[in-house]
Each structure stands twice: as structure tokens, then as C-alpha cells.
Amino acid sequence: MDSENRGVLIIGGGRGGSAMLKVMIGEKLLPVSGVVDARPDAPAFRVARSHGIRTYRTLKEALAECDPCLAFNVTGDVAIDAELRRRHHKGGRCRRHRGVSHLGHGDAYAGDEEKP
């Protein structure tokens, strides 16, 4: 996937990540650029690989290689949300949009505004 097509990174390859991936497969505006899960046998990995979507075992590697414009954290791990916020406010940018926005555990924070 070239830099003009960078899109969505799904963080979490369990039931939630699998469901989100299935809904987003084929999306043209923001294609799925990768799926992250620490487990090598995560259910979403099978789906991702069958559609040519990259899989990653670490968030650091995924963010570096995918350069996503949007990240969905479906793990429920608030530490991941904190890391995404830290990267956004530190100047992390995707090549196509203003920043790496994300939706995380129980919120609709998109990185550009203050969280309520």
C-alpha cells in the first residue's frame, strides 16, 4: 500500500477487531492498512491475511510501517489510548492528514480536540 492510500489501523485482533475488519474490508476512502495483536493466532489475522492486509505483533512496528491516519483501539487497554495520544501530541503525523486520530476504549476522542 503506498503512502497516498494509508488509512486505518485496527488495534486488537479478537472478536471486536475481526468484526470491524469485516465491515471495513473494501473501503476505498480509508482502507485498512493493518491489524495489530500480540497473539499470533488472533482471529482477525486470518481474515486480514486472506485480503492482503498486513498484520503486526507490536503497536510500535505497526505505527512505523502503516503510518495510519486513523487507529481504532478495540482492545479495551487504556494504555494504548495513552500511547496514541502521546504520539499525536508529540507531532506524530500521517502523510495525508493532520495527525494520527484514534477512537479508543469507550470514547470518541479523535486526537484533534480535548477529550470531554
Mean per-residue pLDDT, 35-58:
96
CA–centroid distance for 8 within its chain = 5
pLDDT tens for each residue of 69-113: 788 999 988 888 888 877 765 554 444 444 445 555 444 334 444
Residue 57 has pLDDT above 80, yes or no: yes
Q: For residues 111 and 91, what is the distance between their CA atoms, to the nearest angstrom?
A: 11
Domains, the chain, ranges and CATH?
3-103 (3.40.50.720)
pTM as predicted? 0.76
Radius of gyration of the chain (CA): 13
Q: What is the band of 7 on the pLDDT scale with cuts at 50, 70, 90? A: confident
